[in-house]
Amino acid sequence: MFLKLTVVFIVLLQSYVTLASDPDPVTDFCIPQTDAATILLQCKNSSLATVDDFVFSGIKNPGKFGETGLSSIPVNVNVFPGLNTLGMSMVRADFEIAGVNVPHFHPRATETAVVLEGKIYSGFIDTENRIYAKVIEKGDVMVFPRGLVHFQMNVGSTKATILGSFDSQNPGLLRIPSGIFGSGIKEELLEKAFGLNAKELAKLRKRFGPH
């Protein structure tokens, strides 16, 4: 039974972070508790926090590159628990030459992005379908307003790197291609919405569908 409870507690442990809300914290910080002896503790006793709870070292190098030539490493509360209740998170994105960060959005945050290396075609779309896009270079900062669709493409002749920051500990991410064509929305609806015939849609669903 103790084992069973422990399992329950560990599941609890992995989920409780999600309850905290981005608005004003009511403590200096709240490190999710991971010590086995006090598995139920929601915030680690603040006297047990150490500086390492507030430092993250996982974005020193690019991650694994995907099909479109992008590697992105999120630094949100799920991997960096010290961010809990503090209202911020980050992402490192590396681009191969011609690499693309497909159109996507974050439902819960604005993003500021700084180019660390390279030349990036970068932009967003507002709710009037207007596009705001241009090539930005090393040292440029671009802001993507909360919840708006944005995208990037390495248009330089070298690898490129961007550092993004968010005003939420867990901004969320929905990539349009896989979200729309890979999630199983009724085919008839998609055909009508995009003006595609069954064959065209099937190609897209095959590409982005769950495998």
Q: Angle at Cα 13 formed by Cα 3 and Cα 72, nearest 5°? A: 130
* Subset of residues 23 to 82 that bind a second copy, contact rule: CB under 8 A: 23-30, 37-43, 45-47, 49-57, 59-61, 68-69, 75, 77, 80, 82
Question: Tokens for 174?
Answer: 């929905």
Q: For residues 22 and 30, what is the distance between their CA atoms, to the nearest angstrom?
A: 12
How remote is the C-alpha of 107 from its chain's centroid?
Answer: 10
CB of 109 to a second copy, least distance (A): 8
* Subset of residues 154 to 173 that bind a second copy, contact rule: CB under 8 A: 163, 165, 167-170, 172-173
Instruction: Tell me which amino acid residue 138 is.
Output: K
Instruction: Tell me which amino acid residue 30 is.
Output: C
CB of 63 to a second copy, least distance (A): 13
Considering the complex, state which of residue 71 and residue 85 has its C-beta at the smaller distance from a second copy: 85
* Subset of residues 7 to 26 that bind a second copy, contact rule: CB under 8 A: 8-9, 11-12, 15-16, 18-26
CB of 187 to a second copy, least distance (A): 11
Helices assigned H by DSSP within 79-170:
none
Considering the complex, state which of residue 10 and residue 158 has its C-beta at the smaller distance from a second copy: 10
List the one residue from 93, 136, 160, 162 that touches a second copy (CB under 8 A).
136
Q: For residues 40 and 12, what is the distance between their CA atoms, to the nearest angstrom?
A: 8
Answer yes or no whether residue 118 interacts with a second copy by CB under 8 A.
no
Answer yes or no whether residue 201 interacts with a second copy by CB under 8 A.
no
Q: For residues 165 and 75, what is the distance between their CA atoms, to the nearest angstrom?
A: 9
DSSP H or E run through 129: none
CB of 72 to a second copy, least distance (A): 14
Residues at the binding site for oxalate are: 101, 106, 111
Query: Alpha-carbon dihedral of residues 166, 50, 32, 8, nearest 10 degrees?
Result: 140
Answer yes or no whether residue 3 interacts with a second copy by CB under 8 A.
no
